[in-house]
Structure 1
Amino acid sequence: MNTASDLTQEEWHRRTDAALIWLRHCWGATDGKGFSHSYSPFSGWSKAYPETSGYLIDTLFDYARLRSERSLTQLALQCTDWLVSVQFPNGAYPALLAGNKKPSVFNTAMILFGLTRAFEENDDISKRSVLLSSLQHAVTWLINQLEPDGSWKKHAYVEGFTPNYYAYAVWAMLRANSVLNNPDIEERMRQAIGYYANGILGNGAVSDAGFFPGKPAFTHTMGYTFNGFLESAVLLSDENLIEKKILTGEKFIAIMCANRYRTAGRYDAQWRGDYSFLCLTGNCQLSVFCSRLWEITGREEFRQTARELLNEVVKYQKLSGPKCVRGALPGSYPFWGPYMRFRYPNWGVKFFLDAMFKLCPSGDINS
């Protein structure tokens, strides 16, 4: 069975092809109204999930460009149109699934990635105007939810808890500001990332990086946290924060080496891991993190770790069976593990494609 370290060009394309085809089924499952949250063999396809539909747009554009495939561009733009249509009048987007009336800070921020990329890729002036308006509306709502200390405490997954994976929301805001070019937004996000950076510990870990206060974090939310800090630091030219994230990468490599390059499904703030399962989505996100550290530092150990993190994942991608699972990744291995139990989430495939793209951005596995 192939792994990320010995993927042939043919195998790399076979696996990314299968993942992209599965995403099309995810889209079709909602009759073209967002990407279905996930597929379960027990309950079938879920409703659309606006949050992850938003950041899937980035991935679709990356592969559209790589493969010169217009249909992927069209899919990304159709998803953008749908997201604009479901935005709340106040600029926010819903928590959880389509149809929910409760606004969410984090989910709204994630959709900024898609709106920003669609604006950049769109050559239709009228569409760009609509996208810019939607983007400004969402960003304004998010700015208005900030506390004086730079944190977001309202409209959270757990009421009153502001987890440090909100660093990813800061990155989304800075990414949107690459289009909006508003110095006030940059200043507010500099304050926000400073607030969340208080959770970075001396051992390179981050406290409260999970869904619940004081609890171990799935590697999924750790991936949000680490990538959010790193990318925000790059956009803000914050060398001190970049160095802290390099330390995080170094500590994570040491933990992996000590455990024979096995990854836990979740870790606490002392890097103590739960090795009873793999959070496959998180592995992919941490692979992206290590690839970015390699790009920034040129240190080969980061690239090798990115490959090793994918080594644990590729063998669990479904390449056979009915179309509702073919190309997908389960939330956990084993399938009954605690992260997205018995489900194939759409964002797992998104981050799998991102990790594969980072290791092979030209589509040439030998480059």
Structure 2
Amino acid sequence: MSVVSRFLSRREAMPVVDARRGLQAAAEWLMRAQDASGCGGVSAAYDVAKRQWTGAYPETTGYIIPTFFRYADFSGNPEYRERAVRMAAWESDIQLPDGGVRAGTMDAPQIVPTIFNTGQVLFGWLAAWKQTQDTRFRDSAVRSADWLVAAQDPDGAWRRFASPFATHTVNTYNTRVSFALAQAGRDLQEPRYLAAAVRNVQWALTQMHPNGWLENNDLEDNDRPLTHTIAYATRGILEVGLIAGNSGFVDAAARMARAVAQSQRRDGALPGRLDAAWRPASRWSCVTGNAQMAIIWQRLATEAGDGSGKAAAENAIRFNLSIQDLTAADAGVHGGMPGSHPRSGDYMKHRYPNWAAKFFMDAVLLQLGSR
């Protein structure tokens, strides 16, 4: 039996789950991940096999910040706001002199700036500045955005400052960096940032096949990209399109999102990898990708009037809720989200990454009406 038929033949019924309970459990898991780092940042992941937390991760701590601000408002618990501010202060403390953000976790052997990580922390500094009006966060945001613009090639791609921990040096999923720059252009009233974001999306669309599939869109295997990086790219194209008022970008993102939805099982899981014909290329599911696509389908419905993925979003969220362990005695497992399902899948094998919990929270918050 082929990978496609093995994946799509699974037709389990979806259990009834409590979204608010799962949301709270994921938020509490992220608090424990922050406490485990001992520095204000958030531990990258919990390793089940070693029963230990890994080092703090600047990149993903950066985009957890806006999630915690949103959850503080949603839950009425000010501790999440305090923790978000602490994360942003830590990010400013470790920002590199050139304005960039380092690759990898804090225990990585190299300290070098990288494009993608800088863009993700930019989200956090913008959110912290808007919430607190502390000029320190605005200054960090400006320095990082200026660095990103200076590093961009004339055609809109970023070819310098790729992560030393990724296989490829040019990536279409850097449209997620463009999303951050577009937000910076809007929030800081700086047209240069939005212009740079638009240039990058225009370049990314030169890499698109007629069916919406993107070249150069994976950490390791560009022939079978992760739904995680597919979603990064799709969301970036969508959000830059919405901010810039570019319907062509929004339409391109919608085409990608509809294609991904066709691979979804009845139980809500997406294949962890998809090939150039949008066929399943793995038997396991990337849990982060499920949540990210749920966000995109919801955003298309509310912001672009495209409700074609609404049911897919509900099913993906329900699937992720169904695999969340709320009975585990292990604090590193309880309430978290695994990298893959089953946990032995090839993405973040036997680990619970903080970004899986973050995007799960974002998806559920949108479903529950929080923006």
Question: Which residue identity does 1:51 align to in structure 2?
Answer: E
2:256 pairs with 1:248? yes
2:154 paired residue number = 148
TM normalised by structure 2 equals 0.90
TM-score where L is the length of structure 1: 0.91
After TM superposition, the structure 1 = structure 2 runs for residues 167-246 of structure 1, keeping only pairs within 5 Å, are: 167-212=175-220, 214-246=222-254
Deviates more, 1:211-220 or 1:335-344: 211-220
Q: Offset at 1:303?
A: 1.3
> Are 1:102 and 2:129 an aligned pair?
no
Structure 1 residues 57 and 262: alpha-carbon distance in aligned structure 2, compared to 1, 3 A threshold: closer
Provide Cα deviations, 1:185-216, integer angstroms capped at 9, x if missing partner: 22222212111111222112222221136331
State the Cα deviation string for residues 54-78 of structure 1 (Å, max 9, x = none): 0000110111111121111000001
- Evaluate the alpha carbon distance shift between residue 254 and residue 143 of structure 1 in structure 2; reply closer, same or farther with a 3 A threshold: same
Cα distance in 2 for partners of 1:200, 1:317 equals 35
Report which stretch shifted further, 17-26 or 307-316.
307-316
In the superposition, relative to structure 1, how do residues 341 and 260 fare at CA in structure 2: closer, same or farther (>3 Å)?
A: closer
**Alignment-mate amino acid for residue 346 of structure 1:** N
Cα distance between partner residues in 1 of 2:135 and 2:181 = 19
Evaluate the alpha carbon distance shift between residue 225 and residue 323 of structure 1 in structure 2; reply closer, same or farther with a 3 A threshold.
same
Question: Post-superposition shift, 1:252?
Answer: 2.6
1:348 lines up with 2:337 in the alignment: no
1:116 aligns to 2:116 (yes or no): no
The answer for the alignment partner of 2:298 in structure 1 is 291
Match of 1:335 among 320, 337, 343: 343
Q: Output the aligned Cα RMSD.
A: 2.1
Shift of the 138–16 alpha-carbon distance from structure 1 to 2, 3 Å rule, reads same
Instruction: Report deviation, 1:250.
Output: 2.5
Aligned mate of 2:142, from 126, 133, 136: 136
Question: In the alignment, which residue of structure 1 is the partner of 2:4?
Answer: none
* Residues 64 and 160 of structure 1, relative CA distance in 2, 3 Å threshold: same
Q: Distance in 2 between matches of 1:360 and 1:271?
A: 30
The one-letter code matched in structure 1 to 2:206 is N
- How many Å separate the matches in 1 of 2:23 and 2:264? 26
Contact 2:65 2:124 in 1 (8 A): yes
Aligned pairs, number: 354
> Is the 2:47–2:350 Cα contact (8 Å) retained in structure 1?
yes
8 Å CA contact 1:87, 1:93 repeated in 2: yes
Gaps of at least 5 residues in structure 2 are 1-12
CA distance in 2, matches of 1:253, 1:90: 41
SS of the residue 1:91 aligns to: coil
Amino acid at match of 2:27: L
Cα pair distance change 1:343/1:261, threshold 3 Å: closer
- Per the alignment, do residues 129 and 314 of structure 1 end up closer, same or farther by CA in structure 2, a change over 3 Å counting? same
Letter in 2 for 1:256: Q
- Aligned match for 1:278, one of 275, 280, 285: 285
Unaligned runs of 5+ in 1: none
Which letter maps to 2:131?
A: E
Aligned residues with identical type, % of pairs? 27
